Amino acid sequence: MRKNHHVFRSAFLCALTVFSVYVLLDTFVIVRRIETSAEARTDSEPAGYAQTGQAAVTSRLSAAAEATPDPEPVQTEDTYRDENISITVTEERVGGTSVYLADVELSSAEYLKTAFAENTYGRNVTGKTSSIAESVNAILAVNGDFYGSRQSGYVIRGGTLYRSAEKNGAEDLVIYDDGSFEIIRESEVSAGDLLAGGARDVLSFGPALIENGEIAVTPDDEVGRAKASNPRTAIAVIDDLHYLFVVSDGRTDESEGLSLYELAVYLQSRGVRTAYNLDGGGSSTMVFNGRVVNNPTSGGKGTKERSVSDIVYIG
């Protein structure tokens, strides 16, 4: 009897070990590409729609514009200008931290975009920020919310709902079709309602840094168990179609990093209306004109890009 008990116990422990290993691999290693979305907005005109009046005029003007090639953009190492996009990238020292600021002005919200690694939504589908940026011809890009590192938190991209599972206590950034920003709490509104209300992109990391021009964090706020001073990534809006992309280096002798509150104070000094904290730490990366602008690092062990799930970009 004792022998049978020992055999059963050994078999149970073996099965438990195998299951635990599978769960870890499934969460962090095994790639699962998800081809279908939960729900998508339908913004196109109904079949048989006839172009009349102003619609026809707009169509003819658009066709004429397409027939006329756009002038070549004017670029330097730190600037980009064309008819629709203006970007200036600067580096500043904030205390003992290097901060990289991209000031962006657009003619239309269509140039503010998001992208998945490998153009695919799924678990453990990742790529370097610079590689994803290259694949979509991004002029400017920063890492996104790394949705793939979690199994909850809303994911809406390009007007398509990919994940509606609520993350407890989550504050999300909603980007609407007109390029405006709003901070929402997942506990107060469903992903489906956001989609129906015109949400084009929803980023779920947080927290909110600035709301209505006021600092929304305290000196004690932090992301999970992260240290107080870290590499950071944030996106903010100053005015209609006027944005700031911000990345700070950290965890090195050359650059200490910022707390959430320090980042919020910095952004408030820039006059932003809304600002949102994206994935940071080793993920924090800014790419401009194909070049990694900052010095991404994990634990201060040299400069190295971390692979992420997604980016926010201009292009």
Does the structure show a pLDDT above 70 at 172? Answer: yes
Q: Residue 121 gets which letter from DSSP?
A: -
Give residue 18's pLDDT.
41
* Whole-angstrom distance, CA of residue 278 vs CA of residue 296: 15
User: pLDDT per residue over 136-162, tens digit each?
Assistant: 999 999 999 999 999 999 999 999 999
* Whole-angstrom distance, CA of residue 269 vs CA of residue 134: 32
Give residue 221's pLDDT.
86
Does the structure show a pLDDT above 90 at 173? Answer: yes
At a CB cut-off of 8 Å and minimum separation 6, what does 112 contact? 104, 106, 175, 179, 243, 312, 314
Alpha helices in the chain (DSSP H): 2-28, 54-67, 129-135, 191-196, 260-269
CA dihedral 115, 119, 123, 127 (to 10 degrees): -80
* Whole-angstrom distance, CA of residue 4 vs CA of residue 180: 67
Give residue 228's pLDDT.
79
pLDDT exceeding 90 applies to what percent of the chain? 71
Does the structure show a pLDDT above 90 at 6? Answer: no
User: pLDDT per residue over 187-201, tens digit each?
Assistant: 999 999 999 999 999
**Residue written as token pair 């116990």:** 9
Give residue 255's pLDDT.
96
pLDDT level of residue 220 (50, 70, 90 thresholds): confident
User: pLDDT per residue over 13-71, tens digit each?
Assistant: 554 444 444 444 444 455 555 644 456 765 533 333 233 344 444 454 455 555 566 78
Q: Please, what is the average pLDDT of the chain? A: 85
- Greatest Cα pair distance, the chain, in angstroms, is 90
Cross-strand bridge partners of residue 311: 115, 143
Give residue 198's pLDDT.
97
pTM for the predicted model, two decimal places: 0.81
The C-alpha angle 39, 43, 47, rounded to 5 degrees, equals: 110
Give residue 22's pLDDT.
42
Mean predicted confidence (pLDDT) in 114-125? 96
Give residue 66's pLDDT.
57
Pairing relation of β-strands 208-211 and 214-215? antiparallel
